[in-house]
């Protein structure tokens, strides 16, 4: 039982001997460790990058204003979300998706319909898939599908 009790550690009583690791120096040197922030070229480069980022953000905002086509608007919103930049453009995306929700897209294909459905659902709009998919299936095929589905549910319950 006495072996289980630990002794208080007093610094300086014992010397810790550590093994030396002879690692090869990296190709990058100590650039990323020191992060030479004091050099004027790094500060100048950071300032240029921030200016360029602000310019690009303004270009994207102008793209939202200039785009009148609903399909291009949806593609722009989708691209921005896929790039992970949507937090910069929340206001513009909300306004664009409100226009998409209010617009009628009866003449477009399956891709555009699916994109519209996904974007609006992600933004929190209540969109029913039944109305959108009816025109692709045809009413007769859809009703037949529903009838078979309900019949299959009755069989499962029996």
pLDDT per residue as tens digits for the range 77-133: 999 999 999 999 999 999 999 999 888 766 577 788 888 888 998 998 887 776 666
> Where along the chain do its domains lie?
31-125, 128-158
Q: Which CATH number fits domain 31-125: 2.60.120.700, 1.10.287.3510, 2.40.128.20, 1.50.10.130?
A: 1.50.10.130
What's the pLDDT score for residue 62? 95
- Flag whether pLDDT at 141 surpasses 60: no
- Helices 70-83, 40-66: axis angle to 10 degrees equals 150
Give which of 23, 80, 130, 107 is closest to 117, Cα–Cα: 130
Q: Helices marked H in the chain — which ranges?
A: 31-34, 40-66, 70-83, 90-102, 110-123, 129-137, 139-157
Q: Is the Cβ–Cβ distance between 73 and 100 less than 8 Å?
A: yes
* Confidence bin at 57 (pLDDT 50/70/90): very high
């Amino acid at each position: 039982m006495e072996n289980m009790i630990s002794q208080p550690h007093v610094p300086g009583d014992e010397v810790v001997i550590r093994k030396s690791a002879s690692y090869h120096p990296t190709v990058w040197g100590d650039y990323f460790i020191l992060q030479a922030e004091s050099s004027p070229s790094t500060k100048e480069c950071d300032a240029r990058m921030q200016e360029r980022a602000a310019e690009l953000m303004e270009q994207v905002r102008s793209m939202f204003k200039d785009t009148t086509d609903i399909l291009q608007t949806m593609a722009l919103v989708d691209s921005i979300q896929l790039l992970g930049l949507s937090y910069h453009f929340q206001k513009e995306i909300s306004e664009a998706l409100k226009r998409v929700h209010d617009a009628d897209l009866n003449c477009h294909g399956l891709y555009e319909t699916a994109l519209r459905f996904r974007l609006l659902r992600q933004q929190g709009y209540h969109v029913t898939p039944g109305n959108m998919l009816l025109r692709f299936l045809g009413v007769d095929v859809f009703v037949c599908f529903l009838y078979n589905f309900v019949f299959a549910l009755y069989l499962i319950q029996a």
